[in-house]
């Protein structure tokens, strides 16, 4: 199954992708995670991407497309994958279609997870991630047992650099202007399904699995 997860920042793409990995035994490809790792490792690419990400804008298509193309060639993508946070604009979606056509393996489904703007702000300002194992928490909705400490590995919980209120507003604007049109793009291709992203994580996962069939 070759899946694109669509949804605004904070819609729960990463959260649902983690559950899909287990159920379908296919990898999650999060361009955001790949870029954040490059930033943390201080690679030339990371240095180029950092300022753009901290502003809440999109990293240039050329960089992201190169990353995705390389990742899709890897062995673990043979049986499918979950693209999370990619594509992010029409140019990326068209480039992905071309890439997949040449591989003879087009997308199976684009699944949109829909959440209202007011909920998104709280989810994003409350998000905390374990520096060590990447487990995600939320100070409002799913806090760790001990503040600032991961329940799973006792690692330190950190806040993403772009989860500040001003940057979140920018990310939501960028989503509306550049990414939301992809709902129409995939709708016209006949591979779009949408689920409500409101409710408990497990409730939403039931909807996601039903949509995937």
99, 105, 121, 201: residue in contact with ligand AP5 (rule CB under 6 A): 201
Q: How far apart are CA 160 and CA 124, in angstroms?
A: 9
| Smallest separation (angstroms) from Mg ion to the CB of 195 | 17
Q: Distance from first CA to last CA of the chain, Å, rounded?
A: 10
Q: How far apart are CA 129 and CA 132, in angstroms?
A: 9
Binding mask 60-89 for ligand AP5 (x = CB under 6 A): ----x--------------------xx-x-
| Contacting ligand AP5 within 152-191 (CB under 6 A) | 162, 171
| Annotated catalytic residue, options 2, 18, 50, 88 | 88
User: Is 171 in the active site?
Assistant: yes
Count of residues of this chain found to bind ligand AP5 when the rule CB under 6 A is applied: 36
User: What stretches of the chain adopt beta strand conformation (E)?
Assistant: 2-6, 28-30, 81-84, 109-114, 127-130, 136-138, 157-158, 192-196
Place of tokens 């016209």: 188
Given the complex with ligand AP5, which of 2 and 13 has the nearer CB atom? 13
| Annotated catalytic residue, options 2, 128, 171, 207 | 171
| Annotated catalytic residue, options 19, 160, 164, 170 | 160
Evaluated on CA atoms 30, 31, 35, 41, the torsion sign reads positive
Whether the Cβ atoms of residue 109 and residue 3 lie closer than 8 Å to each other: yes
User: Is 55 in the active site?
Assistant: no
- The Cα diameter of the chain in Å comes to 49
User: Is 160 in the active site?
Assistant: yes
Q: How far apart are CA 103 and CA 146, in angstroms?
A: 47
Is 15 a binding residue for ligand AP5 by CB under 6 A? The answer is: yes
Residue ranges binding ligand AP5 (CB under 6 A): 7, 9-15, 31-32, 35, 52-53, 56-59, 64, 85-86, 88, 92, 123-124, 126-127, 136, 138, 141-142, 162, 171, 199-201, 204
Residue ranges binding Mg ion (CB under 5 A): 14
Residues annotated as part of the active site: 13, 88, 127, 160, 171
């Amino acid at each position: 199954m070759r899946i694109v997860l669509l949804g605004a920042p904070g819609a729960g793409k990463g959260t649902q992708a983690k559950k899909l990995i287990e159920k379908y035994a296919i990898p999650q490809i999060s361009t955001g995670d790949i870029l954040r790792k490059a930033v943390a490792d201080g690679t030339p690419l990371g240095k180029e991407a950092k300022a753009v990400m901290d502003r809440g804008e999109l990293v240039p298509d050329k960089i992201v497309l190169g990353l995705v193309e390389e990742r899709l060639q890897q062995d673990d993508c043979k049986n499918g994958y979950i693209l999370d946070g990619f594509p992010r604009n029409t140019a990326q979606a068209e480039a992905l279609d071309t890439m997949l056509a040449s591989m003879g393996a087009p997308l199976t489904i684009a699944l949109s997870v829909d959440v209202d703007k007011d909920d998104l702000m709280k989810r994003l300002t409350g998000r905390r991630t374990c520096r060590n194992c990447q487990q995600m928490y939320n100070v409002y909705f799913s806090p760790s047992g001990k503040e600032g400490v991961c329940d799973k590995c006792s690692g330190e919980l950190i806040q993403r650099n772009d989860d500040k209120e001003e940057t979140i507003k920018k990310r939501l604007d960028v989503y509306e202007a550049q990414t939301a049109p992809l709902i129409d793009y995939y709708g016209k291709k006949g591979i779009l399904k949408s689920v409500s992203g409101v409710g408990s994580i497990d409730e939403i996962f039931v909807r996601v699995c039903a949509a995937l069939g």
